[in-house]
Homo-oligomer: A and B are copies of this chain.
Amino acid sequence: MIQDFLLALMAIFAAAKLMGALAVRFRQPAVLGELIGGVVIGVSGLRWVDPHNETIHLLSELGVILLLFLIGLETNLGRLLSVGRAALSVAVVGVALPMIGGYGVGTLLGYSSTVALFLGAALTATSVGITARVLSDLGHLRDPDSQVILGAAVADDVIGLVILTVVSAIAAGTTLSVWGVSRITLVAFGFVIVAVVVGSKLAEHLVALIARLRVVKALFFGSIMFAFGLALLAELAGSALIVGAFAAGVVLARTKRGEEIEHEVHDIAQFFIPIFFVSVGAAVDLRTLSPIDPASRKYLLIGVALTLVAIVGKVLAGYAAGRGHRRLLIGVGMIPRGEVGLIFAQIGLSSGLLTAGLYSSVAMMVIVSTFIAPPLLRLMLPPVGGVAPGDKAVVLGEYAMDAPSDRPDGEDPGT
């Protein structure tokens, strides 16, 4: 029903913008307000919005795809590659430590090695969306250390999906050879490299071709179709949709009209991005965290253990970045698991590997890691004040910590 849909959108936008404004007033990143706004109107609160409604869910997925596309458009490939080694080290260590820790927790508690493996896998992938939004909200997206976080988060998304494939195969009783695992890994990473290399050659022609179309917003529509196409190809290659969207952004940013594309995508992405963050918040079930019910207390304790592993593992991974970086900052930036952890948990639940109790332990780890990261990052990264009009570093325009800014492009002609 269109009426229900309009009401749901009104609730989402009201929650996002009012709580976002409140968060900014308390000098926190706006995204924290959007997440909390989601909790307020979601399954733990007023239940005005059902995050599992098909349309809301699809729009929220579109939101995170557009967010990563936009982050890609903001990314300078050269700058990203210059921190590539540090990012890759952080990613590998940041996958290995939580994986081992989660496996350890599962084994100690007497779960089968498959279940323990799955628990470990669920701890691996950083939510690049949440981290990128926080960095952007604070006006620090283009800092070198932010580039390390971004690169590592994208890389551990790819690694995380390879692990998911492997663990799912093991769960299904399939035996995977070392060669099989290597092949999956190579294809997933190879896709990103091929996409960037081949895409960079094609993109300039594509942009030139689109310029000849005599319709308005041709550049915008051509660009998002390129992004959707690469996203779908990435998933076919065993990588994630958001990784493809990010690669598309990186490629298009290098064309002659990269800035124009970014400007146009920015405007429209603003509509969908809050739907994603409010949905993440709306899906949070706070009953998971209730210590009152004795039956759930066991899983609460497991959740605490998993959360500690999740946080400590990523913070330590930050130190893999090597000298010359703010290593603690990088580690903290890798903490939020967000939607990626929930996807793992849901697959575990539906495949029967995780019981409802273990699912809520994993969900608790996701909630705590997601909500703890924005204020921690805020403590370590003072928001950039007095951003110049049109400063391109402020991709999401949510930095406005000191001045209202709802003019197009974040410019405020009044100042």
Contact = CB atoms under 8 A, between A and B. Distances in A.
Given A9-B228, A263-B408, A58 B61 contact: no
Interface stretch (A265-273, A297-305, A349-357): A265-273
A241 B398 contact: no
Interface string A26-48: 00001000000000000000000
A48 B89 CA distance: 44
Contact of A404 (B218, B221, B241): B218
Q: Which of A17, A210, A214, A263 has the most CB of B within 10 A?
A: A214
Contacts of A143: none
A329 to B, nearest CB: 25
What bracket does the count of chain A residues touching chain B fall in? 35 or more
Contact of A406 (B20, B25, B219): B219
A229 interface: yes
Given A58-B2, A235-B3, A214 B404 contact: yes
A260 interface: yes
Contacts of A7: 228, 232
Given A6-B231, A263-B408, A17 B213 contact: yes
B5 A225 contact: no
A170 interface: no
Which secondary structure characterizes the binding site on chain A? helix
A392 to B, nearest CB: 15
Given A211-B404, A406-B216, A221 B397 contact: no
A17 B218 contact: yes
A212 interface: yes
Interface string A43-57: 000000000001100
B14 A225 contact: yes
Contacts of A61: 2, 5
A13 B397 CA distance: 27
A271 B216 CA distance: 11
A324 to B, nearest CB: 33
B58 A5 contact: yes
A30 B215 contact: yes
A77 interface: no
Given A30-B215, A398-B215, A406 B220 contact: yes
B10 A228 contact: yes
Contacts of A396: 216
Interface in A41-88: 54-55, 58-59, 61-62, 65
A264 interface: yes
A230 to B, nearest CB: 11
B225 A10 contact: yes
A228 B6 contact: yes
Contacts of A17: 213, 215, 217-218, 221-222
Contacts of A14: 225
Interface string A391-415: 0000011101101111110100000
B216 A400 contact: yes
A310 interface: no
A3 B232 contact: yes
B400 A214 contact: yes
Nearest to A61: B2
A225 B12 CA distance: 10
A214 B21 contact: yes
A122 interface: no
A312 interface: no
Interface string A369-411: 0000000000000000000000000001110110111111010
7 contacts: A6-B228, A9-B62, A13-B221, A13-B224, A17-B218, A21-B215, A213-B404
Given A10-B228, A218-B404, A264-B406, 11 more contacts: A3-B241, A6-B228, A10-B229, A14-B225, A17-B221, A214-B404, A216-B270, A264-B408, A268-B268, A268-B271, A408-B408
